[in-house]
Chains A and B, each alone.
Chain A
Amino acid sequence: MRFFVSALVSFFALANNVFAKSSTGDSVLVVIDPSLKKEDYSKFFGGLEERGYQLTFRGPRDAHPPIEQYGVPGFSHVILFTPETKSYASDITPQSLVGLLSENTNILVTLSTKQTPLSSLSAEFSLIPPPPGTPLVSHHPARSEPATVIPIPVSESPLLTPGTSPVWFSGVPHAFGNSPYLVPILHATSESFAADSLDDSGADALVDASEKAGEGLWAGSHLGLVTGFQTLKNSRVVFAGGVEMFSDEYASKALPDGTPSGNEKFVKDITAWAFRETLALRIDNTTHHRAGEEVPPETYTTNDQIVYTAHISAYDPETSSWKPHSGITDMQLEFTMLDPHIRIALPPVADEPGKYQVQFRAPDRHGVFKFVVDWRRKGYPLLQTSTTVPVVPPRHDQYPRFLSAAWPYYAGAISTSVGFFLFSALWLAGDVEGKKKKGLKTE
């Protein structure tokens, strides 16, 4: 009975971990600027807690709780609501944030018109921050809010729920470098631009600025407002151009045409992606063997038929478990020795969820080969695996034998053997004629 009670107690204590929403843990550190009030973001934080995350709040200059200690991250995710903080406690530096990403921690960063260490951090992630003091401004569509508060339509993206209403945004844009690891989530509208003027007389300054800067005007839909970055360690960081987007005020503000804004759904989707709930994939295992066998041999021979299998699963946040996922249609397998000798598609098997299989013929070359799967797509984690196998040339008795061209030689060799046997048998069995000769000699 006591065992039962203690088992039940420990089950409930661990239940929080069992029903974790994110595939990498649910402790979240929220570093919030003292000038921002936690209550203004109650819908956002409440939504996170509802989804199963444990939030811990601290200010940027507080020493406790530390973001990481002795190289070990203290939390699975970090939210930095510090758009205007220029100096932090000693544990938060751009280097420590990058170190956290290497240790599989995900980060959500908010930026602002002020130059902070975070805006120079964004430059390290292939984003180009705008000149200081130039928020995003748009006169379109006509609305009662000031020009710096802009409704932005949400375009299609695998990260976001389709049909999300336009979101209210206030903050700074950024331009993209050419890194393919960037995942643009929200683009600025075509009519928006970054400007520091507040009335019509600033028009000349706009034109002058664009002619001077050389990179053109900070305007148009090629500017990003919320952008994600997928690192090689599969951790994710999202740079949002402003913190007001997460606030209760924007979540409840109606759009110019009267419909409710999509802010609540949008920030839920981006945190779901950033904290690796959605679009989280992994390779469970890979196997390889000869066609017709089931166990991998010690070595393969050239020209063998080889079967390679990979099992892939995706994280399902509803059930907090990894489910087999057969949705990848463009995965490729490379059989590599220094350079890929063979590159073929690795398609999903029709009736087995999560299983991807292909059969191919080992090349003529012998050597040490690797099965390499390296699948990278925008917004998805990197799926990489490499298995080394030796491929040896055929043994002396594995070559084709009993060829038709060798018939004369077989005939000759067999004839020789048969002839030898016949001769021995006949000689031993034969008659002896020695008497006559002896007789002649003695005569």
Chain B
Amino acid sequence: MVPRIALHFTWLLLAVCVHAGSLSLQNPRFTITSSTAAQLRADTLSLTEKPEPLKLEPSDTLKLTFQITEKSEGKGVQPHQTFLRFYDSVSGEEGIQPVRVTPGGKAKFELNMARPPASLPPTTDHPLEVSLILGSFVHEPTTFDLFDLYVPSSYTPAPHPDEAKFHELPLIHHTFRPEQKLPPKFVSAVFAALVLSPWLVLLGLWSKIGVRVPHLFSPRIIPFTVLLGAFEALLCWYWVDLKLGQVLLYGGILAVPTIFAGKTALAATGEWRTGQN
């Protein structure tokens, strides 16, 4: 943008020196009136220095008047292209509005914010840079920077349904079920101790009366006892590690000797009871 303006000004200077067919702006004036026709601001535009930024409320009207003349003779001309350019440098939006110029070069432009022209670009709260573009088949082209303009913000147009997919979408985090809360270990320990307390009672009572187990290691009893213990161990192993199929298999294998050992043990106890009788 900057280099192009510089290019225009160098051409302008060159044109002034070499070829006298360049355009100039005479008496550029602007007026801002409110909806009640009260004049809010009026001034002449200086082409060397931008004025304070102009502000338009939703019901205000901006009127711009100027005359285009040939620099050398001061005669009014109607160039081919007399456009006002509204440019938002932050968003890059641009709007071009042609201005009607009489054959004598006099131009008048009115911007009524109550009925804005279609050429006004979508606006935000940033100012629009307003410049005048003059172009002609017979004269040198020129551009004049006029002023900065604040207008009310516009609505954004409806986007295409696929537009969102062309940008990063917001991240979605899954809310997991919170971890199970367990009661304190101390409480569990106390109740486990409570559950185990009858053993203490049993052990205490046994110590008082004494336990008489004369046949404990008899060879006809011990296989059954050991196999029963193996069954208990298998159950414990199932609890920790095994699957059902495996436990049934091992249990089935263990069951066979247990049956025979059990029969032997019961026969032995039967004999001892009848034998002693």
Contacts and interface: CB of A to CB of B under 8 A. Distances in A.
Interface of A: 138-142, 147, 153, 178-181, 190-191, 193, 195, 197-204, 206-207, 210, 214-217, 219-222, 257, 303, 330, 332, 334, 340-345, 361, 363-364, 374, 376-378, 400, 403-408, 410-412, 415, 417-418, 420-421, 424-426, 428-432, 434-435, 438
Nearest to B226: A425
B254 interface: no
A139 B135 contact: yes
Nearest to B1: A190
Contacts of B180: 400
A431 B176 contact: no
A376 B166 contact: yes
A140 B141 contact: yes
Given A200-B137, A434-B277, A220 B188 contact: no
Nearest to A414: B236
Contacts of B199: 415
Given A222-B93, A257-B7, A415-B196, 14 more contacts: A140-B8, A142-B15, A178-B159, A180-B160, A181-B162, A191-B135, A210-B98, A216-B118, A217-B83, A332-B169, A332-B171, A343-B169, A404-B183, A412-B195
Nearest to B83: A219
A181 B162 CA distance: 9
A190 B87 contact: yes
A359 to B, nearest CB: 14
Contacts of B137: 139, 147, 198-200
Given A217-B97, A361-B176, A429-B213, A190 B133 contact: yes
Most A CB contacts (10 A, CB to CB) among B96, B99, B136, B160 go to B96
Nearest to B78: A203
B188 A407 contact: yes
B277 A438 contact: yes
B99 A343 contact: no
A374 B165 contact: yes
Given A191-B135, A197-B80, A421-B229, A410 B192 contact: yes
A291 to B, nearest CB: 16
A203 B80 contact: yes
B214 interface: yes
Nearest to A329: B168
A178 B163 contact: yes
B272 interface: yes
Given A141-B7, A303-B176, A363-B176, A432 B272 contact: yes
B192 to A, nearest CB: 4
Contacts of A341: 172, 174
A190 B89 CA distance: 13
Contacts of A257: 7
Given A343-B169, A412-B195, A434 B276 contact: yes
B72 interface: no
Most B CB contacts (10 A, CB to CB) among A191, A217, A374, A438 go to A191
Interface residues of B, number: 87
Contacts of B185: 404
Nearest to A221: B94
A366 B81 CA distance: 67
B182 A405 contact: yes
A130 B272 CA distance: 118
Contacts of B224: 428
Interface in B196-222: 196, 198-199, 211-216, 218, 221
Contact of A217 (B119, B160, B169, B236): B119
A215 B118 contact: yes
A331 B135 CA distance: 47
Contact of B174 (A153, A220, A342): A342
B173 interface: yes
Contact of B11 (A142, A221, A430): A142
B115 interface: no
A141 B232 CA distance: 100
A202 B136 CA distance: 10
Closest 6 CB pairs between A and B?
A139-B135, A219-B96, A216-B119, A429-B216, A220-B96, A139-B141
Nearest to B98: A207
Contacts of A214: 118
Given A140-B143, A342-B173, A206 B98 contact: yes
Contact of A432 (B158, B221, B276): B276
A204 B171 contact: no
Contacts of B136: 139, 200
24 contacts: A139-B136, A142-B15, A142-B140, A180-B165, A190-B87, A190-B133, A191-B81, A203-B79, A203-B101, A206-B81, A206-B98, A214-B118, A216-B95, A219-B96, A345-B171, A364-B177, A403-B182, A404-B183, A405-B182, A406-B188, A421-B229, A426-B213, A432-B273, A434-B277
Contacts of B229: 421
A436 to B, nearest CB: 11
B64 interface: no
A217 B100 contact: no
Contacts of B211: 426
Nearest to B134: A139
Nearest to B170: A343
Nearest to B95: A220
Nearest to A199: B137
Contact of B213 (A190, A201, A361, A430): A430
B215 A138 contact: no
B117 A216 contact: yes
A425 B172 contact: no
Contacts of A142: 11, 15, 140-141
A116 B180 CA distance: 71
B191 A407 contact: yes
Contacts of B276: 432, 434-435
A95 to B, nearest CB: 23
Contacts of A139: 80-81, 134-137, 141
Contact of A138 (B15, B79, B135, B265): B135
A189 B170 CA distance: 36
